[in-house]
Chain A
Amino acid sequence: MQFEVGSALSIGSILLTVIVVAAMLIWVERRLLSLWQERLGPNRVGPFGLLQVVADMIKIFTKEDWVPPFADKLSFVLAPTVIMIVILLSFSVVPFAPGVGVIDSNIGVLFVLAMASLGAYSVMLGGLSSDNKYALLGSLRAAAQMVSYEVFMGISILGVVALAGSFNLREIVLAQADGSWFVIPQFIGFVIFLIAGVAESHRLPFDIPEAEQEIVAGYHTEYSGMKFGMFFVGEYLGLVLISSLITVLFFGGWMGPFLPPIVWFAIKASMFIAFFILLRAAIPRPRYDQLMTYGWLVLLPLSLVNLMVTGAIILSTQ
C-alpha cells in the first residue's frame, strides 16, 4: 500500500485526520480565544489540556439523546447527518499534497460549491423539524444567509478559475507552482471568498442563524447529545474546509520550499483556522439586515467587477 490519489490508505488517513483535527479544534479555539482575551483557557485535562476533547466527547456521548415528541422524527434525525456527510464529501476533491487526495475531479470547484449549497438543507431541516419558534427563526436566517452568500462565493472563485484555466483543484495548485500565488492578482476575490466562507460555515461574526444572545441556539435549539455534537463538529469541519480551500485556491496549496508538501499545507491551513478564530475574538456580530445589505450591495457588485476586470486583463494579454 502506498499513497496515491484514491487509494484506501489515502482515503482512510484523510478521513481520520480531518475528523480528528475538527474535534481538536474545540480545544484549539478555546485556547486561542483565551489567549486573546487574556485568560488561560482549558489546561487541566492532560498536557496543556489536550485531553479536554476526550472529556467533551465522553460527556456528549453519555448525554441523553432526546428527540422531542412534537418534532418531525425522520428529518430531525437526518438533519445533523447531512452537514457532516456534505462537508466530508467536499473534502474528497481537496488536494492535500501530491498523491494525497480522494479524487481528482475536473469539476472540483463546482462540486465544493454544490456541496456547500446542500449544507443549507441541514440547518433548514433541523430548524423546521424541531417545531420550535427559535429553531424556525434560526433556520430562516440560515437559509437566507447561506443562499445569498453562496452567489458571490462562487463568483469570487471564478477569477482564480479563469487564471488557472481549470475547475480541477489540483490543477489550480499546479498553476501556482512558480510561486505566483493567486492571492496577488486575485486579492479582492480572496477577501470576498474569506468573508463568504465565514458566512457559509456560519461562524462568528456571521453566526446569525445560531445567535445565542437572541434566539437561544438557533436551528439546533432542540438538539442534544450526539446529534448536537454532529452539528458542532460539522461547524468545525466547515472551518477546516474553508481554510483548506483558501489555501488551495489562493495560497498555492502544498507549494513551499524545504518542508514536505503536506506540512506546508497544514501550516497554511492552520494559519487561516487561527485567523477565523481571531475573527471570532475580535469582531462583533452584525445585525441580520446589515449582513444582507453588506452581501448584496457591497460584496456582490465587488465580486462582479473583480471578475470582469480579471476577464478583461486575461483577454487583453492573450
Chain B
Amino acid sequence: MIRLLKDTFTSQVKTLWQVFMHAFVKADTVEYPETPPYMFPRWRGRIILSRDPDGEERCVACNLCACACPVDCIALQKAETEDGRWYPEFFRINFSRCIMCGFCEEACPTNAIQLTPDFEMAEYVRQDMVWEKEDLLINGTGKYHDYNFYRVAGMAIKGKDKGAAQHEAPPVNVKSLLP
C-alpha cells in the first residue's frame, strides 16, 4: 500500500503536471484551408506529363508506366509523327484508381511522367477523376530542366541521324575489317 501511494505521487501526479504543461505549447496542427500545409518537393501527388526544353512532349508512348502501374490506371496509345518521333495518341489516367505510388515516374525512361506536390483533387462527379492528355500535359519541364530524350538517345529521327546525339560515338562500320 505504501508502495502504491508512492507510485501515485511519483508517476500519476507527475504525468498530470507534464500533460498540463502542454497547454502552453503551440498546436502542432494547422487549420488546413486557411493555412496550407508545407508540401515537400518530392511529395507524390497529382501526376503530370512534362515537356522537353524545346517545348515538345517528352512522352514517347513506350507503355512502361502503364506496365508498372499496380492498379492499371494508365491507358495510352502510341502514334508516330512524320519525322519519326513517337508520341501518345491519347494518354489517360484514372485518378479514382491511382494510389500515388510513383512507380510510373520511376519506370519512365524520358522523365515525362512526374508526380507533383498537389493533392487537392477532389471532384463531385466520378467521371471527372479521369484525366486526359490535355489535362495532364503542362507547359514546363517539371523537375528535370535540361533533359531532352531525343538529343541523347541513339534513335534516328528526322534532322538527327545515328551517331549525332550528344556524347554519342559515330556508328561502327561492321563491314570494314580495318581496326
**A294 nearest CB neighbor, chain B only:** B4
Name A's B-contacting residues (CB within 8 A): 34-40, 43, 278-279, 281-283, 294, 297-298, 301-302
B92-130 vs A, CB cutoff 8 Å, 1 = contact: the mask equals: 000000000000000000000000000000000000000
| Contact indicator B19/A278 (Cβ below 8 Å) | yes
Given contacts A38-B27, A40-B27, A40-B31, contact A281 B1 (CB under 8 A): no
Say if the beta carbon of B77 comes within 8 Å of chain A: no
Given contacts A283-B12, A301-B1, contact A36 B19 (CB under 8 A): yes
CB contacts (< 8 Å) of A278 on chain B: these are 16, 19-20
| Chain B hits for A281, CB < 8 A | 19
CB distance B22 to A36 under 8 Å?
yes
Contact yes or no, B28 A282, CB < 8 A: no
Whether B5 is near chain A, meaning CB under 8 Å from some CB there, is yes
Q: Which of B5, B18, B26, B29 has the most CB of A within 10 A?
A: B29
A35 — which chain B residues lie within 8 A by C-beta?
Answer: 22-23
Q: Apart from A38-B29, A43-B31, what 10 extra A-B contacts exist at CB < 8 Å?
A: A37-B22, A38-B26, A39-B29, A40-B29, A279-B16, A282-B15, A283-B15, A298-B4, A298-B5, A301-B1
> Residues of A contacting B172 with CB < 8 Å?
none
Count B interface residues, CB 8 Å: 17
Closest 8 CB pairs of A and B: A282-B19, A38-B28, A282-B16, A282-B15, A36-B22, A39-B29, A35-B23, A40-B27
Shortest distance between the CB of B58 and any CB in chain A (Å): 43
B177 at the interface (CB under 8 A from A): no
Task: Determine the chain B residues whose CB is within 8 A of the CB of A37 once the complex forms.
Answer: 22
Q: Are A36 and B23 in contact (CB under 8 A)?
A: yes
Task: Determine whether B174 belongs to the interface, using a CB cutoff of 8 Å to chain A.
Answer: no
The CA-CA distance from A50 to B71 in the complex, in Å, is 44
B1 lies within 8 A of A38 (CB): no
Q: Name which residue of chain A comes closest to B15, CB basis.
A: A282
Q: Is B25 an interface residue, CB under 8 A from the partner?
A: yes
Residues of A within 8 A of B16 (CB): 278-279, 282-283
Cα-based distance from A281 to B26 in the complex (angstroms): 17
Mark B1-41 against chain A: 1 for CB-CB distance below 8 A, else 0.
Answer: 10011000000100110111011011111010000000000
Chain B hits for A279, CB < 8 A: 16
**By CB atoms of chain B within 10 A, which of A39, A278, A301 has the most?**
A278
Q: Which residue of B lies closest to A282 (CB)?
A: B19
Q: Nearest chain-B residue to A279 (Cβ)?
A: B16
Q: Nearest CB to that of B14 among chain A residues?
A: A282
In the assembly, what is the distance between CA of A217 and CA of B27, in Å? 30
* Given A38-B28, A39-B29, A298 and B1 contact (CB-CB distance below 8 Å): yes
**Complex: A268 Cα to B5 Cα, angstroms:** 27
Q: List 27 A-B contacts (CB under 8 A).
A: A34-B27, A36-B19, A36-B20, A36-B22, A36-B23, A37-B22, A38-B22, A38-B25, A38-B26, A38-B28, A39-B28, A39-B29, A40-B27, A40-B31, A43-B31, A278-B16, A278-B19, A281-B19, A282-B16, A282-B19, A283-B15, A283-B16, A294-B4, A297-B1, A298-B1, A301-B1, A302-B1
A282 to B14, CA, bound (A): 10
- C-alpha gap A117/B4 in the complex (Å): 28
Q: Specify which chain B residues have a CB less than 8 angstroms from the CB of A298 in the assembled complex.
A: 1, 4-5
Complex CA gap A282/B12 in Å reads 8
Contact for A39 among B4, B5, B27, CB less than 8 A: B27
In this complex, the member of A43, A281, A294, A302 whose beta carbon has the largest number of chain B beta carbons within 10 angstroms is A281
What's the least CB distance linking A42 to chain B, in Å?
A: 12
B25 neighbours in A (Cβ, 8 Å): 38
Give the CA-CA distance A202 to B90 in the complex, in Å. 63
In the complex the two chains form, what is the Cα distance from A100 to B28 in whole Å?
44
Min CB–CB distance B170 → chain A (angstroms) = 65
Min CB gap A195→B, angstroms? 10
With both beta carbons as reference points, the residue of chain B lying nearest to A191 in the complex is identified as B8
User: How many angstroms between the C-alpha atoms of A294 and B3 in the bound complex?
Assistant: 12
Tell me the complex Cα distance, A37–B26, Å: 10
Distance from A30 Cβ to chain B, minimum over Cβ atoms (Å): 14
Within 8 Å CB of A283, what residues of B? Answer: 12, 15-16
For A43, the closest partner residue in chain B by CB is B31
Closest chain B CB from A44 CB (angstroms): 9
For B29, list chain A residues within 8 Å (CB): 38-40
